[in-house]
Amino acid sequence: MSSHLALNEPSSALRLTFLSVVVIAMFLALLSRLWFLQVLAGDRYAELAETNRVRIVVTEAPRGNIVTADGEELVRNRPALTVSAERQRLLDDAGEPRDEDAERVLDRLSILLELEVDEIVERLSTRRYSPFRPVPIAFDVAPEIVFSVNENRELFPGVVAETLPVRTYPQGEMAAHLVGYLGEISEDELGSEEFADHRAGDLVGRGGLEQVYESELRGRHGETRYEVNAQNTVLDVISERDPVQGHDLVTSLDADLQQATEELLAQGIETSRSFTHQASGRNLPSTGGSAIVLDPRDGAIKAMASYPSYDPQEFVGGVSSDYWEEITDRDNDTPLFNRPISAEHPPGSVFKVVSGAAILQAGANPSTTVSCAPTYEVGGNTFRNWNTQHEGPMTLTDALRRSCDTYFYELFYRQWQREQQAGGAEAEILPAVAESFGHGTTLGIDLPSERGGVVPGREWRQEYWEAHRDTYCRLAEEQEEGSYAQRVNADLCVSGGQWRGGDAVNTSIGQGDVLATPLQVAAAYMGVANGGTVYSPRIGRAVVDHDGEVVREIEPEVHSQVDLDDTELRAIHEGLRQVVHHQRGTAYGAFQGFPLDEIPVAGKTGTAELQPLVPFAWFAAYAPADDPEVVVVVNVEQGGGGSQTAAPIARTILEHYFETTDEDDIEFEVGPEYND
Amino acid sequence: MEVPVYGQDRAERILRERVQSRWAAAYAPVRHLDPVLVLSALVLSGLGMVAIYSAKLQALTVQGLPATTFVSRQSIALLVGLVALGIAAAFDYRHLRGYGAVLYLGAVALLVVTLTPLGTEINGSQRWLILGGFQLQPSELAKLAVLVAVAALLHERKGEPGLPTVGIALALVGVPTALVFLQPDLGTSIVFIWLTAVLFLVGGVKARYLVGLAAAGVAGFAAALRLELIQSYQLQRLTGFLDAGDPSLAQGPVFQTRQSLIAIGSGQFFGKGLFEGTQTSLSYVPENHTDFIFTVVGEEFGFVGAAVVLALFLVIIWRGLRIAVLSKDLFGTLLAAGVVGIFTLQVFLNVGMTVGIMPVTGIPLPFVSYGGTSLIVWFAMVGLLLNIHMRRF
């Protein structure tokens, strides 16, 4: 007997079939959703489940130290007593105190730490720290505060007193520009490959060696992965990785020499301000300066000073905006600015070793004589020597000794004519030779923000003009008709792309559009001193691990090779030696009393004009002249004549280096102004 | 005329009686049980206990309680359920028509009592009566009572119910639905409405009435929204699952759904293995031994395990619908169809809730979820199906 329903009531069977279809549709809906969740999107949900159950607690790795060649610590870590608080226990998601209890805790902290509640909330809210560890509110608190917190735990739920490592500078301000400082990693950096191992809130090197050697100094943070349940109770340790301390950086800096160089530069600059600049009748402004001491045999920096300086300690725990303003303000001569590598100035006469080498490579003979007249005419313009007296015929050696401008004017005017006739078929000699001396290019020192300077020439002028022509033409239209500025701009608008004889003449004595950093000048004299090799200057010497084992030697690298034969080199060496040794040498006066018979010094003065400012004083030297082991370059911005301020400062540094004078007796004495 | 041989008639009678008794034995109700149906229910209950054990293992261990706490309680409920199955199958289901009124009035009375201070409130919802240490959920009983009452009514009208019958049926459903809604228990209210729809469909209510009622239902729901009869939190629960993908709401009302999705999704194709589910053992899914038990299946046994469980549900539905077709009277058809209807809806609402396509309502998963009342009632329902199946001749 089969279903009588089916026989007697066909509509009921139909209705049950309809019900079956609905049921099947429901199950298909469930099954397809499960397919989506578990098969198509399963990977993503598996990841989410993993994030759910795993909490990562990070242990910071102590950052490596930076030490001098003789083992003095320039920067290291120091434990700082810190009061921290768990953000989640005090603040809600909107960054407000989460309840009345939290408000009371914040009030108590405010009284204890002498900080406004708002300030505490702000510090807690910073994204700099992982939400799973307490956020530091106050660094370097008094031990009494730590005791109060620890002994009254019930009053400070979620607050911990702990010891955290912070950067400290045992040598104070010394080498501040070289060491650099730390700052919070930026969003952009977090996304980049270079910072793949970093997390939000990490401190990274900003400026100086801290920045360049970031990857080796920072080490690797430790990480413990806990399994937690829905109540955040830790059930198990899944994995544990100890922090790896960062490596130390050993530099080529000599702590004692660095200290002395900074002091002697500062002393020289500050003393020079009480002397008069005769042309303007004012005291020398001497607004800032640089001093570099390097080893010409491998390019190792032994000391490098930038004046004025700043206190890196101010950056610990985050620099205040006031201090940042102060050290980046032009009115304060921007102390944060690392002048030796970032300041581009006209090099003036110190450039003459480069232009001298260029003229030799262009085919001139070192013994060719050119008359050192007081003036030289080019295209109706008169170019003057610094000395108004006629000095007679001179070789390259003589011209270097006397820093004779007209010698270079004449040779470079002839060279310009030759190149003009070749009409671009022949490469310009000066920019190429200058580059082999490290000018017009960065040298690749292991510091950030190195500038490359400018060595102008025909091509450079054309490009520069094309980029700026619109400005010249606009100014020519706007300015008062017939005024000097208007005429100059009108001329530049039409023919500013021309490389004229006057430009070539000006460039030959390191004026005009030539710009160089003190480091570039030092590099050029390194090339002269060691017979032709320009190394990339280096401060880092080796990366060593915590036990002192060398991880990586930082080898000297050759930046470029100078192409001069022995006769040519000898002519330049002799000229530079005579600058100091010869009675008529421009730095003879500045080195009066220096034991030149023991330590022969070769050098070159420079007095770079930068109208309307007081000239920039330069002195570049190497010693001992016959077997150089050190190059010293000093630049004083608006310091007057090279022989007046720069050479005397360089002399004091050499006195310190060679210990020719008792340390306490080394004293800056201003030199004669009118010797370039 | 031949004289009948003495004894020939008797021999025939004996032969006839022997045949009759063979037939009678062949048609004896007890010989027409449905083993597939019962076995599926038992397998599901067994799987449920494994899942309950896994869900609570770590949490109970942490609290220092025996890991079998919930499973042993569930086992007792299973035994009671089997007794209930026996009782529900033993008597002839047709007698239920006579007791329909008593059953119905009793259930309504219990629902009323539940709403008085005698009822027990848990999680803001007054659904339980505590009787001698046992939690009783009268709404579970009311499902059965409403089913019997409406089926009996429609049976009386011989499958051609007119408007008055429909009206009476709606009234019969309306009272317990309203009482359950007041608890508030939105899920069970929906079950009542769905049950009515299934009974009307199978009971022969004219198609145009069905369409009209559906339209009225939609209009009524819209009106309830406008008059704010449905509270905002209920509405939020109804729509919240749609936001489950948004992690910023991780701590809000959709937390449960989100964690449920993570649990099931992370099970992937083959599952993480028994006791290996992290979402399960670390209690990331709240109520994962009761309403969210399906997350344990999904996480630890993967798509394969979830599909097997759904298949077992389908087997029960198939057997139930077969019984509805085989039943010898409309009352039996309606009872079977009603049981299947409630069962299907509960599975759909519950699994749909855990996979985020249905709102979060407190509907347990039949046979699998932890909870004595539900398990006992569902075995009684299976008994009722058996009852109809056995007496189909």
Q: What is the pLDDT of residues A562-612, one digit of tens each?
A: 999 999 999 999 999 999 999 999 999 999 999 999 999 999 999 999 988
Q: How many CA atoms lie within 13 A of A609 on its CB side?
A: 12
Closest Cα to residue A162, out of A184, A125, A137, A128? A137
Q: Which two tokens stand for residue B85?
A: 């199955």
Q: 3-class secondary structure for A591-607?
A: CCCCCCCCCCCEEEEEE
What integer is the mean pLDDT of A17-41? 94
Do B265 and A1 lie within an 8 Å CB cutoff? no
Measure B379 CA to nearest chain A CA, in Å: 21
Q: What confidence score (pLDDT) does residue A425 get? A: 75
Give tens-digit pLDDT for A427-464. 899 999 999 999 999 999 999 999 999 999 998 999 99
Nearest-CB residue to B333 (from A5, A29, A233) = A5
Residue A475 · residue A485 · CB < 8 Å: yes
CA distances from A580 to A620, A649, B3 (A): 11, 14, 169
Q: Which option is the CATH number for A255-345+562-665: 2.160.10.10, 3.40.710.10, 3.50.50.60, 3.30.70.360?
A: 3.40.710.10
Place of tokens 């993993």: A50
B62 contacts in A (CB within 8 Å)?
229, 233, 235
Q: What confidence score (pLDDT) does residue A1 get? A: 36
Q: How many CB atoms lie within 10 A of CB B23?
A: 10
Where in A169-321 does DSSP place strands (E)?
181-184, 203-206, 222-228, 234-241, 248-251, 276-277, 282-283, 288-295, 300-307
Q: What confidence score (pLDDT) does residue A202 get? A: 78
Q: What letter would DSSP give residue B214?
A: H
Closest residue in A to B249 (Cα–Cα):
A93
Q: How many CB atoms lie within 10 A of CB A70?
A: 11
> B61, B257, B260, B268: which to substitute to probe chain A, counting the most A Cβ within 10 Å?
B268
Return d(Cα A530, Cα A27) in angstroms, integer.
Answer: 88
CA distances from B383 to A47, B83, B86 (A): 45, 9, 6
CATH 3.40.50.150 fits A348-527, yes or no: no
Give tens-digit pLDDT for A492-518. 888 888 999 999 999 999 999 999 999
Return d(Cα A360, Cα A566) in angstroms, integer.
Answer: 12
What integer is the mean pLDDT of A214-227? 87
Do A3 and B348 lie within an 8 Å CB cutoff? no
**Complex ipTM:** 0.91
DSSP H helical ranges for A114-186: 117-125, 143-151, 176-179
**Plot region of A64 (φ>0 → left; ψ -120 to 50 → alpha; else → beta):** beta
Q: Which two tokens stand for residue B114?
A: 């539940």
Return d(Cα A646, Cα A626) in angstroms, integer.
Answer: 22
> A12, A20, A93: which to substitute to probe chain B, counting the most B Cβ within 10 Å?
A12
Nearest-CB residue to B344 (from A23, A45, A49) = A23
A473 alpha carbon, distance to own chain's centre: 36
DSSP count for chain B of H helices, then E strands:
14, 3
Nearest-CB residue to A12 (from B198, B204, B266) = B204
Same-fold call for A56-177+222-251 versus A348-527: no
CA distances from A581 to A395, A528, B227 (A): 17, 18, 107
> B309, B312, B316, B325: which to substitute to probe chain A, counting the most A Cβ within 10 Å?
B325
Q: What confidence score (pLDDT) does residue B235 get? A: 65
Q: Model confidence at A2, in pLDDT bands (50, 70, 90)?
A: very low
**Plot region of A363 (φ>0 → left; ψ -120 to 50 → alpha; else → beta):** left
CA triplet B228, B233, B239: central angle to 5 degrees?
Answer: 95
**Plot region of A457 (φ>0 → left; ψ -120 to 50 → alpha; else → beta):** beta
Domain residue ranges in chain A? 4-40, 56-177+222-251, 255-345+562-665, 348-527
Return d(Cα B108, Cα B26) in angstroms, integer.
Answer: 41
Interface of A with B (CB under 8 A): 1, 3-6, 9, 11-13, 15-16, 18-20, 22-23, 26-27, 29-31, 33-35, 37-39, 41-46, 48-50, 52-53, 227-231, 233, 235
> A38, A44, A52, A225: which to substitute to probe chain B, counting the most B Cβ within 10 Å?
A38
Give tens-digit pLDDT for A103-159. 888 898 888 888 888 888 888 876 555 555 678 888 888 888 888 888 787 888 888
Return d(Cα B52, Cα B291) in angstroms, integer.
Answer: 11
> Mean pLDDT, chain A, as a whole number?
89
Q: State which residues of chain B have pLDDT below 50.
A: 247-252
Q: How many CB atoms lie within 10 A of CB A188?
A: 8
Residue A589 · residue A674 · CB < 8 Å: no
Between A497 and A351, name the one with better pLDDT.
A351
CA triplet A613, A618, A622: central angle to 5 degrees?
Answer: 175
Characterize the bridge pairing of strands A248-251 and A66-67. parallel
Return d(Cα A610, Cα A616) in angstroms, integer.
Answer: 7
CA triplet A64, A258, A293: central angle to 5 degrees?
Answer: 110
Lowest mean pLDDT among A354-363, A406-415, A476-485, B326-335: A476-485
Q: What confidence score (pLDDT) does residue A360 get? A: 95
Q: What confidence score (pLDDT) does residue B33 get? A: 86
Do A19 and B58 lie within an 8 Å CB cutoff? no
Residue A586 · residue A675 · CB < 8 Å: yes
Residue A601 · residue A580 · CB < 8 Å: yes
Q: Is the pLDDT of residue A4 over 70?
A: no
Closest residue in A to B256 (Cα–Cα):
A230
Give the architecture-level CATH label for domain A56-177+222-251: Alpha-Beta Complex (3.90)
Q: What confidence score (pLDDT) does residue A11 get? A: 66
Q: Model confidence at A544, in pLDDT bands (50, 70, 90)?
A: very high
DSSP H helical ranges for A496-646: 501-508, 518-529, 566-581
* DSSP per residue, A17-63: HHHHHHHHHHHHHHHHHHIIIIIISHHHHHHHHHHHHEEEEEEPPPP
Q: What confidence score (pLDDT) does residue A418 get? A: 92
